[in-house]
Amino acid sequence: MNDALRDVDISPRAPVHQGILLDLAGKALKNAGFDEVTYEYVDGHLQFSDSEGERQIRVARELLSKVWCANERDWEAVCGRLSAPLRRQFLDRPGEIGNQGVMMVCKRKQIV
């Protein structure tokens, strides 16, 4: 799916890359008094088991395009470009898309 969106012109309004957002959030939380900010790998999956066939592709396509570029001028074009990659994905893993990521864990020393 990354290949389908490689040349899409996503407007540079604000940092939207998850790594940038996590870094900014980590700094803000440290400034707010959290002593320890760590990142844990999360290996999850998006399940689309409530539909099948073309409806499943449409539902997944709309969800992913809204998550990645909902505010873009070319949202519908982006949405359309995901159909073929999603068909290939669902052939290998019916109704499932890998969603690896990072979870931020923040701890604050307890004040007595």
Per the structure block, which two tokens stand in for 15?
A: 């940092």
The reported pLDDT for the residue numbered 3 is 66
- 25/33 Cα distance (integer angstroms): 13
The reported pLDDT for the residue numbered 64 is 83
The answer to whether the beta carbons of residues 32 and 107 sit under 8 Å apart is no
The reported pLDDT for the residue numbered 72 is 62
Q: Is 69 exposed, middle or buried (0-12, 13-18, 19+ CB in 10 A)?
A: buried
Model pTM above 0.75? no
Residues 6+ apart with CB under 8 A from 43: 98, 100
Domain residue ranges of the chain, discontinuous segments joined by +: 1-9+37-112
The predicted-structure confidence for 44-90, as pLDDT tens digits, reads as follows: 888 998 888 899 999 998 888 777 766 666 667 777 788 888 998 89
**With bands split at pLDDT 50, 70 and 90, how would you rate the model's confidence at 6?**
low
**With bands split at pLDDT 50, 70 and 90, how would you rate the model's confidence at 41?**
very high
The answer to whether the beta carbons of residues 95 and 56 sit under 8 Å apart is yes
